[in-house]
Structure 1
Amino acid sequence: MLFSHFNLPSPLLVVFVCVAFYIPLSAQDQGFSSVRAKVDFGQKLRDWDGFGVNYVESCQSLDLEKDPQDYGGFSLLDEQEKQEIIEMIFSDDGLKVNLLKMFLDPFHQATVDGAFDHKSTTKHMRDFARRGNETSRSFGRELNVITTMYGPPAWATLQKETRGRDLDPMKAQELANYMVDWADFLTNDEALNLRYLSLHNEGEGWMRWETDGITHESNNFGHDYNLFWPPEQVVQFLDILPRELERRGLGHIGVTPGETYSWDRFYRWGYADAIADDEKATRNLGLITSHGFLNWGFRRWNSEHMSNGIDLLREKRPELHAWVTSTSWGKMDTDFVRQIYGNIYGTKVNAIIPWALIQRPPLWKGSGDPNPGCSFIVREDGSYEVQQGYYFYKQVTVPGQAGMSIVRTSALDSEIALIGFGNNGTEHPDAFVLINTGPDTRHINIHLSGTRSKDFKATRSLDAPNRRLNLAVERYSPIGKFETSSDGILLYEAPGKSVTTFIGLQD
């Protein structure tokens, strides 16, 4: 023992150890009177591909002639209302997003050898995409599209029913053709910039069906389209689909492994392992995807922000990007943005697209959408309402533009989290988002490095009015300019339950 030969009283021994090794005895000794936080724009973690939106049209109906569905609600809106919403999403004054997720429903081909009909069940989703694409281009941005097979046609399943559980192995090639024909239609007929084709929607959830593999009418409430995709089937299609895309002249479209419910399922349920163990599947993978839902606990629907599956695949292909293709809006508040932080820094993704941003609540069967948060609600009388989720999402979408980078951040308080976006050689200014999930105001010293910006303009959203600070409800409200000191420190008083965005002002 180092001090075994010193016969010192224990209090003196403690003092001696602290002095000898310069161990501070308290935060006060170090001058801490506020939370210390850091944003180092010189420490790039990964490239950022941007934020996106998802319009959902057909999602649950088993017969669209008898039970037509437009969950996104555009069918109820007039021309002016549609364009107002489009401007609020895609313009420079809106969310300014650059990604769009589109579903492929089960009703595009009635029989295995029948003609394709890509229009009848996708009218409003395609209208939304077309308007979004035009508006994005008018502001000099490219709208990048990912399309996901929501569920296969009945003929592709062993059960021969819509939402049958199991793929008929004799129809694998025909199902690949079903997906690729839709990709061809979006690319060549709709003139959309389709980047990726995703295999499935939460296809790992084999317990969603009864033992015969059928969703019986009495139990249809609350279920959207699915097909069971075991890991081996994912690996199989990572061989079939790229070949079919290449054959159709669409080799530039990447294939993803589909979208499990959460990132821990992607890893723990064997999907990342199955891909990593197959050389061809690993080589053919275009993008890593999963939903990014977060639920604490240890029951069936437990989920975490876990990067293990992404890390495993990046060991073999470091250049691979990963996208969250659905995640809950929660209560559309500060915690929602904190979950975005978790997906970025915990799961290490390059882009995030939340679940349906525009919803028509009565059209979700049963007890309602399990993820009811959103940006817009469409009412049955043809009106719409902007939800507070819109403003909290805007706190991250505006500063986090495509082509930027995620940079290193830290904070000495678990209720404080920071998302840092570096300009990464783009025209976009350095920016960061500060999240205070706690109930109390926090005084924060933010140490900024690696940026040329000395001043930052700030906007803020609050969960509720803050009587203590005499603040009314704020929804992406400008709160002024903040200057950094000569040694790069920005002082900020963050109200409880608030999200504040700081965007650098360039000289």
Structure 2
Amino acid sequence: MRKASVDFAAQLWPWDGLGINYVEASQTRNYRADPQDYGGFSLLGERDRQSILDMIFGDDGLKPGVAKMFLDPFHQEEPGPGYSTDPNRLDPAAYDHATTTHWMRYFIREGLSRTRARGNDLRVITTLYGPPAWMTKQRIVRGRDLSPEYRYELAKYMIAWTKYLRDSENIPVNYISLHNEGEDWQRWPEDGSTAGDEHHDYNLYWPPEQVVDFLRLMPGMLDTHGLQDVGITPGETSNWYRFDHYGYADAIARDSVALRHLGLITSHGFYSGRYGRWYGDHRSSGIDLLRAQRPDLHAWVTSTSWSEMDVMFVNEIRNGIYAAKVNAIIPWAAVQTSRWVGGDPNPGTAFRVQEDGTYSVEPGYYYYKQVCRAGQPGMAVATVRSNDPEIGLIAFASDETAHPDAFVLLNISDEAREVDIEVTGSNAGGYELFRTAPGENYVSLPHMAADGYLRYTAPPKSVTTFYAAR
């Protein structure tokens, strides 16, 4: 007999939410000649932009709880005349934070307004995509190595951007992440003489020792510049396998100061079960190592694939939660164009913008809606079980929030599956159901009464969300 269970009383860890990411400048080596807007809002009319924002942040939308913003290399093309290298002095006039970030800032401002209008808030992480060319040894955009004499300048670069977002844009940045896939030394030639292939996005090589150095360095500088409440993360390796096996978790665990200063554990969650150059899995060993000394630490996936924009996308989210043991997940760019040089290696998304100024809602939107609305900030991850590897579950307990207990059931098989589901730890009088599957986009299903067991037939390749009803 195929059986599954959900126990809302057996809570595993706090949940910070699922998230959203708008990508603007990401690859262009010369922004003046090629002002890239990968998200494509610049191509749309205001009515279409507002429609997309409503579908993401509105009452009936995805309702994300966390968001990511990139810091590209073009905010300070040169130090500029009169620039002070004093770590304690920050000159806002030395930076241009506006030119390359117009649509990303618009996206987050509008989203934050909608989120707060429904009584919620966004937690924001900003990630260094890459430093200005002059801070690298190669003195080129996407140069491989940071010049050691500019470590304070790079710290100020991140701090200036964060202060701008908080003070000028009223965007509540909570965390600064040190790098974007900076563990991947193979993206440059062995001698580091060029920027590597043009299809790669911005980057800088960040060995574990450099991450530890900045974890020690940054908090004091944040304090000096009035950002005491902003946490530092160790940057974002491509996946949790690399965070562990490339030595990042070990390096932080061995340095008591770096470990004490760590505000949040972060990594991308790109999964590849095929052994080779791009192998990556959802292991939690690096997270476990740090939490053994700092049980308070939360962990976020700050980019992950939309897969084929189907049930397997949600299955990757499931594994990120229950295998990597994370507290939040932000997929890669939720709005995309065809403007990725060489083609985006992760082409799934929620919205596709065309060059003619039209857009489409992709299947990924509806599959993501199944889980994003269910797992709201402040809830808790709850215990689930299934004796069928093709039936997966994700459960979020209300945990004294106003959000209802909810669980998500996945059928990754090619056939319909009848499942008996035992639900405990909730006082629900019944469940409201919504489903996405081939041919169905977040459709409402008949109410199911709660009597301890639910018998449900899941269509092939389907994702169904059960919301507790009083």
- 2:141 aligns with one of 154, 162, 166: 162
Match of 1:497 among 454, 461, 466: 461
Q: How does 1:45-60 map to 2 (within 5 A)?
A: 45-60=12-27
Superposed CA deviations along residues 428-458 of structure 1, whole A, max 9, x for unmatched, are: 1111000010111111110011000030000
Q: Aligned with 2:12: secondary structure? A: strand
Moved beyond 2 Å, runs of 4+: none
Secondary structure of 2:440's partner? coil
Which residue, out of 242, 253, 260, partners 1:283?
260
Q: How many residues align?
A: 458
1:260 match: 237
Deviation at 1:254, TM superposition (A): 0.4
Q: Secondary structure at the match of 2:441?
A: coil
Unaligned runs of 5+ in 1: 1-31, 465-472
After superposition, give the CA deviation of every residue in 1:189-209 in whole Å (9 maximum; x if it has no partner): 110111100000000000100
Q: Which amino acid aligns with 2:465?
A: T
In structure 1, what residue type is equivalent to 2:448?
F
- For residues 89-238 of structure 1, the aligned pairs below 5 Å read 89-113=56-80, 115-215=94-194, 220-238=197-215
2 CA distance for matches of 1:214 and 1:360?
31
For residues 329-348 of structure 1, the aligned pairs below 5 Å read 329-348=306-325
Aligned partners of 2:99 and 2:405: how far apart in 1? 44
The residue aligned with 1:478 is 444
Q: Distance in 1 between matches of 2:357 and 2:463?
A: 32
Distance in structure 2 (CA, Å) of the matches to 1:425 and 1:416: 28
* CA deviation after TM superposition for structure 1 residue 215, in Å: 3.5
Q: 2: distance between equivalents of 1:214 and 1:55?
A: 31
1:37 aligns to what? 4
Q: 1:246 — aligned with what?
A: 223
Select the residue among 285, 289, 293 that pairs with 1:312: 289
CA shift digits 1:35-86 (9 cap, x unpaired): 1101000100000000111000000001001111000001011111111000
Report the structure number with the largest CA radius of gyration.
Answer: 1
In structure 2, how many angstroms separate the alpha carbons of the residues matched to 1:110 and 1:297? 40
Q: Tell me if 1:76 matches 2:43.
A: yes
CA contact (8 A) 1:459 1:502 kept: yes
Identity %: 53
Q: What amino acid does structure 1 have at the position aligned with 2:104?
A: M
Residue 103 of structure 2 aligns to a residue in which SS? helix
Deviation at 1:112, TM superposition (A): 2.8
Cα distance in 2, alignment partners of residues 477 and 147 from structure 1: 35
Q: TM-score, normalised by structure 1?
A: 0.89
**CA deviation profile, 1:308-339 (whole Å, cap 9, x unmatched):** 01000000010100000000001000000000
CA contact (8 A) 1:37 1:444 kept: yes
Q: Which residue of 1 is the match for residue 91 of structure 2?
A: none
Task: Tell me what 2:377 maps to.
Answer: 402
Is it true that 1:357 corresponds to 2:324 in the alignment?
A: no
**Is the contact between residue 415 and residue 437 of structure 1 (CA under 8 Å) also seen in structure 2?**
yes
Deviations 1:324-358 (A, max 9, x none): 00000010000000000000000000000000000
CA distance in 2, matches of 1:399, 1:227: 36
Contact kept? 1:107, 1:121, Cα under 8 Å = yes
**How many Å separate the matches in 1 of 2:174 and 2:279?**
31
The two structures have a TM-score, normalised by structure 2, of 0.96
Distance between the aligned counterparts of 1:439 and 1:205, measured in 2?
36
* Equivalent position to 1:392, from 360, 367, 378: 367
The equivalent residue for 1:19 is: none
Secondary structure (helix, strand or coil) at the match of 1:475 reads strand
What secondary structure, in the 3-state scheme, does the structure 1 residue paired with 2:409 have?
A: strand
CA RMSD of aligned residues (A): 0.9
Q: 1:428 aligns with which of 371, 379, 403?
A: 403
1:211 Cα deviation after fit: 2.5
Change (3 A) 1:384 1:214: farther
CA apart distance, 1:243: 1.1
- Contact 1:112-1:174 at 8 Å conserved across structures: no
How much does 1:220 deviate?
A: 3.4
Q: Which residue identity is paired with 1:210?
A: P
Cα separation, 2, equivalents of 1:151 and 1:110? 12
- Post-superposition CA distance 1:124-160 (Å, at most 9, x none): 1111111111111111111111000000101111101
**Secondary structure of the equivalent of 1:266?**
helix
Q: Helix, strand or coil for the counterpart of 1:75? A: helix
CA contact (8 A) 1:98 1:143 kept: yes
CA distance in 2, matches of 1:215, 1:390: 38
Q: Distance in 2 between matches of 1:69 and 1:54?
A: 16
SS in 1 for 2:394: strand
Distance in 2 of aligned mates of 1:411 and 1:57: 41
Q: Give the secondary-structure state (helix, strand or coil) at the position aligned to 2:173.
A: strand
Partners of 2:108 and 2:418 in 1: CA distance: 43
CA distance in 1, matches of 2:206, 2:373: 36
Specify the code of the residue in structure 2 equivalent to 1:442: R
**Deviation of the 1:479 alpha carbon:** 1.1
Amino acid at match of 1:241: M
